[in-house]
Amino acid sequence: MKREVRFLITISFAFFYLLIGVIVPTNYSALGPGFVTKVSDNIQIEDIENSNNFFSVAVYGLDKLTGLTRIVLDACYKWDVYETTIYESSITSKEDRLRGQISKRASYLNSLINAYRLANEKDSNIYLEVDFKGIDIYYRPPHLTNLKIGDRVIKINDELLTKENYQEIIKANKFENVELTIIRDNETKNIDVTYQVGDYVMSYYPYYEIVSSYPEVSLPGLSSDTGGPSGGLMQTISLYVSLLNINFGNLKIAGTGTINEAGIVGEIGGITQKLYTVDSNKMDYFIIPKSQYKEISSLKHKTVIVLVTSIVDAVNFLENIKIN
């Protein structure tokens, strides 16, 4: 009888720990290979057929892995398992979705600004006029409950923000206690910001409105929950090529990287998983930020990797592979 009791106790403990491993979440997240989507689905140009040669790359992300899931994914070389940072864990799911929309919209507008500017150098009839409206809060320390992600900042310490000065003003007031003038629900408010020890710095995205353009554009991609700033480079390339009707035959060109108003290409997360995704989808080229090549230089792949630091680098590459 005692032996049976000990056996049942042992089995009970084993079942208990197995249950913990299956259902109890941990502070770990993971990134894995995902899928490619045609960039042309996100931004539409009036009376112009968008190029079908260009693809953005998305990865799958899993948060709060259970212990068992963490063990399984850790054994998969194509997945990256990592401990969730305090920064990431302080953001709610609702806030994260809103942040995705903020960054995606800013990325679309930066893409339009760059593509139309470069296309205008080839065809002066092409133009885009935008109006700077302020900067949208993308992150704020969670103890600042009187601020919300998505609040639009129009002044810092009573200094009006413009497209020419906002970056310098943000930089000058990094980690400084400031007064923000914001617009929320069409109401203007002044809110004091006081940092605490251990806080991450606040971050923002510029908010532009399109005043006029030729050709006119629409942004159907804003209605979806997918996409983000990492698609900025490829959105810019696709728009530029479509505006000038450049032919690339049947080439499939994927890429990743953020884009700012000046056309500088920025780094993104999940570059390893994106390379696996591109390779499995048999893309011909994969355009990435030059600074991130070291992260994937040792990986085997069939896709040709193109390294760029700016949208001008990307355009120069396209000039060399276009079909006349």
- pLDDT tens readout for residues 163-209: 999 999 999 998 889 999 999 999 999 999 999 998 999 999 999 99
Residue type, position 116, single letter: Y
Torsion sign (Cα): 40, 97, 29, 83: positive
User: What secondary structure does DSSP assign to 70-88, as a single string?
Assistant: HHHHHT-TT-EEEEPPHHH
Tokens of 51: 């190029």
Structure-block tokens of residue 61: 């992300």
Can you give the pLDDT at residue 87? Answer: 82
C-alpha span between 40 and 238 (Å, rounded): 7
- Decide if pLDDT at 6 tops 80: no
Q: What is the pLDDT of residues 66-98, one digit of tens each?
A: 988 889 999 999 999 999 888 888 888 889 889
The pLDDT value recorded for residue 17 is: 47
Amino acid letter, 308: V
What is the pLDDT, as a whole number, of residue 237?
96
Structural domains in the chain, sorted by start: 32-97+106-126+216-324 (3.30.230.10), 128-214 (2.30.42.10)
Three-class secondary structure of residue 298 per DSSP: coil
Report percent pLDDT > 90 for the chain.
74
Supply the mean pLDDT for the chain. Answer: 90
The three-class DSSP label of residue 125 is coil
Give the alpha-carbon dihedral of 179, 182, 188, 190, to 10 degrees: -10
Q: In this predicted model, what pLDDT tens digit does every residue of 272-287 receive, in sequence order?
A: 999 999 999 999 999 9
Residues forming beta bridges with residue 188, ordered by sequence position: 183
What is the model's pTM? Answer: 0.87
Distances in whole angstroms, Cα of residue 175 to Cα of each of 86, 99, 193, 195, 197: 18, 21, 10, 7, 10
Cβ-contact 42, 227 below 8 angstroms: yes
Cα 49–chain centre separation: 26
